[in-house]
Amino acid sequence: MLHIVNKSPFERNSLDTLLDTSPGGAILLIEDGVYAATKGNAFEPKLKAAMDKFKVYALQGDLEARGIADRVTDGVAMVDYGGFVDLVANNKTNQSWL
């Protein structure tokens, strides 16, 4: 399953709830959700701990738009819009966390 998160973990608890309730899959961070993918933030330890169950991706265009593309946490893969489409197409189910 592909989990798509578009809210910052500092604004909403969507990503936190996802990590606590889902058995695994792939996570795509988009829009303000990409703030969770930055080095040194308060949410980084929880995201890194979840990487044994989840493959984590962040949308490169959203990272660049926020000026944080150079601060991506190790283990988070950046994808472009084509990669976004591939993730959606290659996962049987997709869930948007609002």
User: pLDDT per position in the chain (98 positions), as tens?
Assistant: 999 999 999 999 999 999 999 999 999 999 999 999 999 999 999 999 999 999 999 999 999 999 999 999 999 999 999 999 999 999 999 999 98
Domain that holds residue 37: 2-97
Question: What is the CATH number for 92?
Answer: 3.40.1260.10
pTM: 0.96
- CA atoms of 9 and 5, how far apart (whole Å): 9
Q: Phi and psi at residue 84, in whole multiples of 5°? A: -60, -50
Residue 35, pLDDT score: 98
Please give the tally of structural domains in the chain.
1
State the number of CA atoms in the 13 A half-sphere of 67 facing the CB. 0
Q: Cβ(78)–Cβ(39) under 8 Å? A: no
- CA atoms of 38 and 32, how far apart (whole Å): 11
- CA atoms of 16 and 63, how far apart (whole Å): 20
- CA atoms of 4 and 47, how far apart (whole Å): 14
Residue 19, pLDDT score: 96
Residue 41, pLDDT score: 95
Q: Phi and psi at residue 79, in whole multiples of 5°? A: -130, 150
Radius of gyration for the alpha carbons in the chain, expressed in angstroms and rounded? 12
